[in-house]
Amino acid sequence: MVLRRLAPRPGRYFRAFPRSFSGLTHISDDGQRPQMVSITGKVATVREATAQCIIELPQETLEALGVGEGPMHDTSTLASKKGPVVSTAIIAGVMAAKRTSDTLPFCHPLPLEAVDVDISWLSRSELCVQCSVRVTHATGVEMEALTGASVAALCVYDMLKASSHDIIIKDLRLMSKSGGKRRYERVGADSEHPGK
């Protein structure tokens, strides 16, 4: 039996974008197919980005961690049956940031120069996860920062899920980026982070 290779029909896997969307860099000019952006010719500069998310812990998880009504615990002492929660999550976040292009198809593989994951108390029942990334390259690192923060939070969930499935990961967002064509910094109450 001879199998013929069928060319994908426009719209088979996704709908074609109208011409008004031609400014989207990850869509071809005809709006028919996804594409990786060429960074050939772009100037390499120091690019930095920071992202964060919040982990909301239910009462049963706080009790399992031994977090009571007294002084706030140092996050480095938080442990579950699987082991130290925060240090494991920090390692997971760093590893994920370095492998961002393995999971997001149009991200360029980047030789990251620094990844810093910080996990601290935002309130008595909330942890703030923040990931900062730096590279000298022709493209930015906001996706690496977002990936690092989200995977670190997922690792916290994995370390603590035996205590409750009501743990909530929320408010994943870019806090700042610099070094590229557009600088961005979140302002106001949303920019506050107790660990920095």
Residues assigned a catalytic role: 158
Q: Residue holding tokens 């600088």?
A: 183
The sign of the torsion formed by the CA atoms of 193, 47, 29, 27 equals negative
- Dig out the tokens for 57 from the structure: 């812990």
Distances (CA, A) of 6 to 14, 30, 91, 146: 16, 20, 43, 37
Measure the CA angle with vertex 116, ends 41 and 166; round to 5°.
115
Calpha distance 119→113 (Å, rounded): 20
CB atoms within 10 A of CB 163: 19
- Please, are residues 115 and 93 in contact by the beta-carbon 8 Å criterion? yes
